[in-house]
Every structure is written in C-alpha cells, then in structure tokens.
Amino acid sequence: MKKIVIVGAGVAGVNAATKLVDNGYPGEMITVIDMGKDPYQRKPEEVMTGFLGAGGWSDGKLTYHTAIGGQLSKYCGEEKAMELMDQVITNFKRFHPKPEEVQCSNPVEEPEFIKPYFGLRLFPVWHVGTDYLSEIAKNWYDYLVSKGVQFYWETKVSNINFRHNEIIMKSVKPEFANMDNDGMFYDELIFGVGKSGIDFAQELANKYELPDEPKSVQIGVRFEAPQEHFQKLIDISYDFKLYRKFDDEGVSLRSFCTNNNAAYVAVEETYGDHSYNGHAKKDEAYRNNMTNFGILMEINGIEDPFTWSREVVNKLQSNGTGLYYSPSRKPSTTSEGNDVTSTQISLDTLAHVVEPAMGGYFKYVMDFIMDMKKVFPTLQDDWGMYIPEVKYLSPEVKVDYKNLALVDYPNVHFVGDALSARGITVSGAQAIYVAESVLGEYKKHVYLYDQGTGDLF
C-alpha cells in the first residue's frame, strides 16, 4: 500500500484527501502536513494558512469556467475540467451547514451592443458565503479525521528530497523551537502549498532545476473614466471582462479587475519601478463614481517574458513615477486625497516613447480604447490611462498532463496555486485529478490482489 503525503491542507490538499478516502483509499495511509492550524484553532487573521488554506478564509466565490482561475483544461480537456470543478463545488455543498443557501449566479448572454467589437466573458459563480466557510471547514475536517487521515498541524516542511522520497519538517510552535527537524518518507507526494508557499516552491524548482512552461507577457495600462459611461455594462456585470484575441499575432487583450463606485487607482512599486493597479472601497463615504480597470495584453512568444517586462516597465518611468495620458483629464487622487503619482505625457510622447518601449504592441491598447468609444458613445475623450500595469507571472513547473507529476519525478504531483491555479475551483479540481490518477493505480492493484495475481502495492 502506498503512503501518500500531502504538503498543504489548502483547498487542493483537502480535495485530494477527500477524493482518495471517498473511493476507499485507507485514511491511515494519507498524511497531510500544514504550517497553519486546524479549523477549530485557526484565527480569522490567519488568512493564508491552515485547513482549506487561503480558500478557507476567502470570499467563497467558486467560479465555474475553464477560462477563469488558472490552468485546468490544458491538462485534462474541457469536458473533464468541468466535471472536476463540479466535484469541488459538490464538496463545498456537502459540508455546508445549509447547502440550500449556496447560490449560483449565472449572468445573461452577452448584450448586443458589445458584440460587434468585443467578447464579454460571462461565467457562473457559486457563492458559498464567507461566513459559512469556517463551519464548512470544521465539518470537512471531522469527516477526514473520521476516515483515519493523519494531520500534522503547525508543521512547516522546509525541504524535500525528491530523489530519496523524503520530506524534512519541523513544528512551528514556539515551545518546539529547539527541536530538531523531522523526516518522513512518502511513496506519492501531493505538493499544494499555495501562495503562502510560493517561495518554498521556487526554492525546490531552483534546487532541482525543474523545467518550466513557457510564459506569456502580461502588460498594459490602468484605464480610468467616470462610471456613468460604463453603467449600462456594470448593471449586467460588476467586474465585466471585455476581451479580444489576435491569434495570428499571438496577442490577446482583456479588461481586468474592474473597480466601480468608490474606485481608486493605486501605485505599485516592484523592483524599484512604478506600475498601476486599482481597488474599490466599500464605504459610501469614499464614493467618487469612477470606474477603473486594467487593459492587459497577453503576449506570447517572447523569449524571456520576465526580463522583457521588467525592461519595458523601466522604460516607462519618468521623474521617478509611471506615466499618465489623457486627451482631457488630469490624474486622479487616492482615497486619502493625494495625487496618484504619475507624470502626465502628451500624445506625441505616447506615440514616440510608449509605443516603441512596448515593442510596438501598444497599438492594440489604443485600438481597444477606440472601440470602447464606439460601444460606450458618451465616453469620447473623458478618460485617462496610467502606464504601465504589469503582472509578473511566477514560473509554472512542467508536469505530465495526465497526472500533474513532475517530468523527472513521477511520484511528485504539483497542484493548486503552487502549480498554475489562481482560484478555489481550479485548485481543488487539479488535486482531484491527481487523486484520480493515484486511485487508478490503487484500484488496479486491488483488482490484481483480489484475483490472487499481485501484491497490494
């Protein structure tokens, strides 16, 4: 019988363990290790760690579309991906104290006025209810414990020897500070450390020189305008996602992270350079009736996307800030009433500095804006953009698509945000996918064992 060790009791780890025990895998052969706490001990401020990980204290929105939440259908195909996401949603409902309250919002079809110029990505979302997540976590945990799954809480894995199938871990409880590291062997390892373990995942990737998938560049601008121009669309979808694709040129564009009502542009500083993002306040006192969203280009085929993006961002700085262009407006203020730091530039600078700095891709952003003016006719010149907005994507290790195992270490499976997910449903679905492949092997052996022709692992 194979010993399965799951590092990370987040959304991914918990769904993997559940799939295994639901299908008869003995819980005693499954160990889950997490540096956070069990759901009875976890405090509200422990946002990223503990049972159900970041998903356990999240907004509880389960998105249900393969274009949202990271990579899934790439590995297993569209149909299988939807089926796996169904399983995750079923798990959340199953341990929910009031499953009938889990609501699905499924926005209407793309409105006619958008169609000639943009795609509008509409997708169903299941609302679990943030306030119920803690109850769900307790019920779910009790079930796994009742099935015999072994949990190690407040235990941080600090190293993994992929060659000798051994993990090194240590309690993070202050009273054990002087204790030595412990080792534990595994036959199969499911690695789901989420965003809180991203540095650790990167350390392992460097140490074992794990090959990674080619990445795209994600760069563009933060667009801002009075909300009234977009209200027609906001009424249909608060966080609307306009998109368009130029397959032949390897470029696609999308509006990203829309903020409304009390919406402010935020300056981000990465690697010493300024770029822009946005956020919205809930308090009515901050209402400014503005809308902001990223217009992000995904550019494929650039050899070293990270270095390329950093160089572009560096070229788009002036006077120690990023840039602002508007045909009619001035930069806005932050919610604290300070100017959003930026250097206002002319149309000439836009054409002769920004366009070449972005490697000739900036024209796609301008086309996007010009077509928005057609879809939202009152917009005209009443808008501005902060340049640049950028997403530095972390590397995605190369895995075998059939079981998400590292190409050189077939018993080590990466799942969830540590691989390529960016949301609850996809993280859980990737983990169930891995559990199914482990179960496939297990069931084959049980069958042979029952026939008297094999050993049980």
Return residues touching ligand FAD (CB under 6 A).
7-13, 33-36, 47-50, 53-55, 58-61, 63, 69, 156-157, 192-197, 200, 416-418, 421-425, 427
Q: Please say which residue, 153 or 223, places its beta carbon nearer to ligand FAD.
A: 153
Q: Please say which residue, 152 or 368, places its beta carbon nearer to ligand FAD.
A: 152
φ, ψ dihedrals at 418, nearest 5°: -70, -20
Q: Please say which residue, 10 or 388, places its beta carbon nearer to ligand FAD.
A: 10
Smallest distance from the beta carbon of 351 to ligand FAD, in angstroms?
Answer: 39
Residue with tokens 């979302």: 125
Smallest distance from the beta carbon of 128 to ligand FAD, in angstroms?
Answer: 8
Smallest distance from the beta carbon of 81 to ligand FAD, in angstroms?
Answer: 15
Name the residue among 388, 106, 335, 450 with its Cα closest to residue 222. Answer: 388
Q: Please say which residue, 33 or 299, places its beta carbon nearer to ligand FAD.
A: 33
Smallest distance from the beta carbon of 316 to ligand FAD, in angstroms?
Answer: 29
Q: Which residues is 245 bridged to in the sheet? A: 252
From the number of C-beta atoms within 10 Å of its C-beta (0-12, 13-18, 19+), residue 358 rates as buried
Q: Please say which residue, 278 or 423, places its beta carbon nearer to ligand FAD.
A: 423
Q: Please say which residue, 9 or 263, places its beta carbon nearer to ligand FAD.
A: 9
Smallest distance from the beta carbon of 299 to ligand FAD, in angstroms?
Answer: 24
Q: Which residue is nearest to ligand FAD (CB)?
A: 10
Smallest distance from the beta carbon of 155 to ligand FAD, in angstroms?
Answer: 6
Max Cα–Cα distance, the chain, nearest Å: 81
Q: Please say which residue, 54 or 76, places its beta carbon nearer to ligand FAD.
A: 54
Tokens (6 digits) for 334 = 């932050």
Q: Please say which residue, 238 or 246, places its beta carbon nearer to ligand FAD.
A: 238
DSSP assignment letter at 227: G
Residue with tokens 């998400």: 404
Under 8 Å between Cβ of 205 and 386: no
Smallest distance from the beta carbon of 355 to ligand FAD, in angstroms?
Answer: 35
Q: Are strands 384-391 and 343-344 parallel, antiparallel or unpaired?
A: unpaired
Smallest distance from the beta carbon of 150 to ligand FAD, in angstroms?
Answer: 14
CA dist 64 to 33, 143, 225, 426, Å? 28, 25, 30, 9
Residues written for the chain:
457
> 211 by DSSP, 3-state: which?
coil
| Kind and range of the H or E run holding 217 | strand 217-226
Those residues with Cβ within 8 angstroms of residue 265's Cβ, 6 or more apart along the chain or in another chain: 222, 224, 276, 277, 278, 292, 332, 334, 340, 386
